[in-house]
Structures are given as structure tokens and as C-alpha cells.
A and B are shown apart, each in its own frame.
Chain A
């Protein structure tokens, strides 16, 4: 992946870069990304998008009065789809940025959530979840980024390695 230079004053940008590089970092540690959350969001997005397109196409082809009933039906379905999407992003996905499975071990599942709680504080709240045991930590961005604004991948890898081994030892 191409290294991107960030504006170090923007916590949003800093978090985005960390999120973007998570699959690469976890790949180094030996995990493979699982896309089921993204896939579900994409599916809902495509379906609602097609419904919206159908509404406008119907209106164009049939006119307002002839298409009225179809539009009402499609609007109802569309609101159901959007309600599900909202429910899914706010309660299921929340701030999950990465889901992955161990390439070797028998299906060790890792979920990583990241969040910036206060945008004026350069602190990233990271929650790592390994097989339903989790650790939550606040990490200062200067641990991960150098002064010029590039992400240092090695400390990030080390950080997640440490978290995972702590979680692993918790199990025993």
C-alpha cells in the first residue's frame, strides 16, 4: 500500500490512515481479513440504490399519476432498507474497522474497533477483541506516526502483536 502523508493536526485523517492500514498490519501478524460486514453494507446499499433508480425511471416512463402506487411501494421498501442500514451501522458495525481470521490456527477471530473520542485530543481508542475477550486502550497517535506525518508500520505491528499475545495469555 502507498504510504500517505497526513496532516498531523487532523485526528480524523490520522484515524483514517490507521484504519486503512489495519488489513496490511494484520496480514503481517498472520491474519486474513473477513469482509462480511462490508459485504452486507454493500448489498443493502446496492438494493436501495436500485430501488431509488427504479422510482425515478418509473416516474420518467409512466408519469406521476400512473406510477404513484409503484412509487409508494418502492418508497416503503426503501425506508425499510435504510432503517436496516441505520440499525446495522449503529448497533452491529459501530466502530469496527477490521475483522479477520487467523490463517493457521483453527479460526481465531479478531475484531478491531477504533474511535477518536474527542477530535481535539490526538488519542485513538483501540479495542482489540480475540475470540470474545477484549482489551480497550487509549493510544496517543505519536506512537504510530513520525514527525513528517507518515505512519510507522513497525510500531503498529508491535502494538497489535502485544495486544494479541496478552489476550492469548488471558485465555490460559
Chain B
């Protein structure tokens, strides 16, 4: 419920995310933990945002390269610092921009280096996952509370 409380306060579906790729190096490395905030009305060029394309499973962390806005909405174009081209190829077919209100999950406001590597280990390494589960099971057997 702390997690849910945080997601309501920040208005972000997932207020803390883990960087999975090196596309934002040298700013963020794989395994960095990012803290998001999604109560800002507009993003500026240079902000690092997390967005989720409809129908794609994994959110992406990239930097805002261009923005267009009026008083109702804002369109963004993003690019990974370490990528040679912008993200047009990553968007849905025929999608030319990200909609600030619809696609953006949050803007990065803080980070902790490397801490998120634990979750990468759990999701990508079977032995680590079952080892950890085993340890949990053991500790629950030997502890009273």
C-alpha cells in the first residue's frame, strides 16, 4: 500500500522504475533506480521522461528532444542519449509523437545508481530468483514473527 500511496502522490502508475538498457548512457546505466513525478503540466526539452507505448510491455526512459504545445496539450519527440537516432522507430506505426497526457508515465526527478540491479537479477537469473525464494522460505520456517 506504500507503493500505491506513492503512485497516487506522484500520479505515476509506477513511481519507481529500473533502467533496463544502456540507451541513456552515460546519464543512466542499466540497473539504476529512477524516481518519477507526473504532476507537472508540461515537459521541457532536455527532461528525461518515461513513456509507455500502447501495446508494448516495457516502459522506455529517454530524453525529450523536441516539444510542441498549446494550452490544451503537448506533443513530445524523444531520443536515447546513447542512440544514434530519435525514437520514431520505437513508437506505434504511424505515430509521430508522444502525447504528454496519454503516453508519458512520469518525468525523472531523482535516481539511485545500481540499486535496481537486484530486480534485474531476479527477473533474468533463475538461480538467483529461486535462491532468494529458498532463503525466504527458510527464514519463515525459523522465525517466529
Contact = CB atoms under 8 A, between A and B. Distances in A.
B144 A75 contact: no
A18 interface: no
B1 A75 contact: yes
Contact of B1 (A13, A16, A52, A68): A52
B66 interface: no
Interface residues of A, number: 12
Contacts of B57: none
B25 interface: no
A71 B8 CA distance: 8
Contacts of A52: 1
Interface string A39-80: 000000000000010011001000010001001100100100
Nearest to A48: B1
A36 B18 CA distance: 45
B99 interface: no
Interface string B1-39: 100110110000100000000000000000000000000
Nearest to A20: B144
B1 A64 contact: no
A59 B1 CA distance: 12
Interface string B126-145: 00000000000000000010
B5 A75 contact: yes
Contacts of B13: 64
A150 to B, nearest CB: 17
Contacts of A68: 8
A71 B7 CA distance: 10
18 contacts: A13-B144, A16-B144, A52-B1, A55-B1, A55-B4, A56-B4, A59-B4, A64-B7, A64-B13, A68-B8, A71-B4, A71-B8, A72-B8, A75-B1, A75-B4, A75-B5, A75-B8, A78-B1
Interface of B: 1, 4-5, 7-8, 13, 144
